[in-house]
Structure 1
Amino acid sequence: MIIKKIKAALIYLFLLIWLIITGYPMIFLVQNSFKIKMEFFQKPVWSLPASFTIKNYLDVINSGFYIYFFNSIIVCFISVFLIIIVSSLASYAIARIDFKFNKIIYILFLAGMMIPIHSTLIPIYKITLSLGIYDRLSALIGPYVAFSLPISVFILTGFINDIPYELEEAAIIDGANRIRIFKDIILPLVKPAISTVAIYNLTLLWNSFAYALVLTSSPTKRILTLGLFEFQGQHGIDIPLTLTALFLSVLPLIILYVFLQEHIIKGMTAGALKG
């Protein structure tokens, strides 16, 4: 009994230390975002602010930061929506429909995960120019969707393959067609996987930088990561102001995780145990 309590205490101690190590960067951002510029240089960086001020937050918002924020929301959410639709349909076709090039198409999707993003910047830039959508938010959606499909199809195909085919056979006997089967049977059963795909891609696209740098140029078309890059260049000396912008940029993902952590855990663990 005593040994079990000691083990439990050591585990909780380890988790507490790990929480401090992983959580302190966020605490560092928050506490220094309330400092003025001179205070940051005159006092230790880990000290609390002498007086909490929201001046940095007001300056960040007035600098046009909200434009980058809303641009990222528009691009990321439209891209994730399209990724879910296309990848779920493609995964169902690969997993359940027996056609001639089934395996070849699946292998091509998997091969897409090995293509470095930076090797495609010049071709995509030329395609964007030829389509007349350069320096538009829509120019980012196509590459975002295309390079997110391989991993999304890989995840969803694995989940669909684990669904017993007898469920579809029973639906076919009752007169259901492919669309009805996909909508009423497959989609409800792969919700954990769809949640995983959505959250994974949203996090990845929210932090994307290369395509925004190459395919946009106007300040009003910049997304959050590119805006932060420019923001750091403009306010490189004002570290508290830059840290404030960084905190505001990661805050949506933190809030999203807090409210959707149950779905994230289900999505990561679903299918791990097979009956």
Structure 2
Amino acid sequence: MVTTSGLFRIAGKLLLLGLLVGLAIVVLYPLLWMGISSLKTNDEILSSPFAMPQALDFGSYARAWDRGVGQYFFNSALVTVVSVFLTTLVSAWAAFGLSRIEIPFSRIFLLLIVGGLMLAPAVALVPLVKLMQSWGIYNTYWALILLYTAFRIPFTTFLIRSYMVGLPREVDEAAIIDGAKTRQIFWRVILPMSKPIMASAVILHVIFAWNEFLFALVFVGDDSLKTLPVGLANLSSRATTDFPAVFAGMAIAAVPMIILFILGQRFFIRGLAEGVGK
């Protein structure tokens, strides 16, 4: 016989299951609709936008690629990869120094880094434009790379430091006894032990850089240098009569992020759980 408390537990589990199913539908349905629409013709999208395509038309992907999506994809990949490398390297070094080494005024440095999280990008647009122009890198890849790196270092440093603080001090002492120097301790001991949080930091930065729109719109003017978010916006305005190509471009932009998260979700969840929870 099921007791009252048992009924409440079953009802709670069913309610939670229903919420999770509803959330999955909300997240997955737009992606599925976008992918299905990219395989339709214009007439099918306009006449029956929610119906399945009568025949799969993959030509929309070729048209989208030829209309600039291929170049936009390369630009986003280049800016993302370089900024990820710079951000994680600098942030890991900073986190190591703030968590594993006794340095003067470390608390002040930590407060300054955390204070960087409060700076809104939109507020700094005008001085940043002047700065990039004075450096001669306005309307170049480096403008976006430096901006993405600078604005993500505070958060990434704070995230990695939260993880490194919880690592046992005994490993540092054992490495010092074995004759290891500070840089060797970082590269050979602490960094390998910090793989989960490093993976989380990389995934979060990739998602940010891949989808960032404001800086990519303001600091890059040439169409050949535009990243996917701005390029797809331009494609949508130009290809007003070719909706399948627009949806195909959106699908091309979304697939790498989906694959990245699926491959790295184990490290991502573990790194955030162990890092933020400390």
Same-fold call, TM cutoff 0.5: yes
Task: Give 1:137's match in structure 2, choosing from 137, 141, 146.
Answer: 141
Q: Does 1:50 align with 2:54?
A: yes
d(CA) in 2 for partners of 1:108 and 1:258? Answer: 34
| Gapped regions of structure 2 (runs ≥ 5) | none
Could you report, residue by residue, the CA deviation over 1:236-262 in whole angstroms, capped at 9, with x for unpaired residues?
A: 343332222111111110111122222
Could you report, residue by residue, the CA deviation over 1:156-201 in whole angstroms, capped at 9, with x for unpaired residues?
A: 1111111121221222122221111111211011111111110001
Aligned to 2:209: 205
Q: Residues 140, 130 of structure 1: CA spacing in aligned structure 2 closer, same or farther, 3 A cutoff? A: same
User: Secondary structure at 1:94's aligned position in 2?
Assistant: helix
TM-score, normalised relative to structure 2: 0.91
Aligned to 1:29: 34
Q: Does 1:251 align with 2:255?
A: yes
Amino acid of the structure 2 residue aligned with 1:132: G
List aligned pairs for 1:37-186, cutoff 5 A.
37-43=42-48, 45-186=49-190
Task: Give 2:233's match in structure 1, choosing from 229, 242, 258.
Answer: 229
Alignment size in residue pairs: 273
Could you report, residue by residue, the CA deviation over 1:75-113 in whole angstroms, capped at 9, with x for unpaired residues?
A: 001100111110000111111222222111111110000
Q: Which moved more, 1:171-180 or 1:262-271?
A: 262-271
Amino acid of the structure 2 residue aligned with 1:105: F
Q: Does 1:19 align with 2:4?
A: no
* Conserved? CA contact 2:197–2:267, under 8 Å: no
* Conserved? CA contact 2:41–2:244, under 8 Å: yes
TM-score, normalised relative to structure 1: 0.92
Q: Residues 273, 224 of structure 1: CA spacing in aligned structure 2 closer, same or farther, 3 A cutoff? A: closer
| Gapped regions of structure 1 (runs ≥ 5) | none
Q: Residues 153, 272 of structure 1: CA spacing in aligned structure 2 closer, same or farther, 3 A cutoff? A: closer
Superposition RMSD in Å: 1.9
Task: Give 1:219's match in structure 2, choosing from 216, 223, 240.
Answer: 223
Q: Does 1:270 align with 2:262?
A: no
Q: Which moved more, 1:155-164 or 1:15-24?
A: 15-24
User: Secondary structure at 1:232's aligned position in 2?
Assistant: helix
Could you report, residue by residue, the CA deviation over 1:11-40 in whole angstroms, capped at 9, with x for unpaired residues?
A: 544433332222101111011111111221
Aligned to 1:240: 244
